């Protein structure tokens, strides 16, 4: 499962993935797991990740496609 290659997923013992977002409910950065992802939307400029925090706050994080090209260009 490699749906979040740009988020530097961390493989856990139970195959869960975590990623960090800024949650307005927590008013801080929060680590969420793959089970908190509502939807992944591929767009021309990258991926839009819709998440739902453990506190109930929902939000979206845009992952620019250029971010993936930096390694190859450099
Ligand atoms: Zn939260």
Q: In 3D, which of 12, 4, 8, 9 has the Cα closest to residue 49?
A: 4
Q: Is 80 exceeded by the pLDDT of residue 48? A: yes
Q: How far does the centroid of ligand 1 lie from the alpha carbon of residue 20, in Å?
A: 11
* 68 pLDDT more than 90: no
Characterize 42-65 residue by residue with b for buried, 16 or more Cβ atoms within 10 angstroms of its Cβ, and e for exposed.
eeeebbebebebeeeeeeebebee
Model confidence band, residue 72 (pLDDT cutoffs 50, 70, 90): very low
Q: Residue 71: CA atoms inside 13 Å, Cβ hemisphere, count?
A: 5
Ligand 1: centre distance to CA 24 (Å): 7
Among residues 14, 47, 53, the alpha carbon closest in space to that of 31 is found at: 53
Confidence at 13, pLDDT banded by 50, 70, 90? low
**45 C-alpha to ligand 1 centroid (Å):** 27
Distance 12 CA to ligand 1 centre (A): 21
């Amino acid at each position: 499962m490699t749906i979040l290659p740009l988020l530097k997923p961390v493989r856990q013992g139970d195959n869960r993935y975590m990623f960090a977002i800024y949650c307005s409910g927590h008013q801080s950065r929060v680590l969420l797991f793959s089970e908190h992802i509502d939807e992944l939307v591929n767009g021309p400029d990258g991926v839009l990740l819709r998440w739902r925090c453990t506190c109930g706050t929902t939000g979206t994080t845009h992952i620019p496609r250029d971010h993936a090209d930096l390694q190859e260009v450099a």
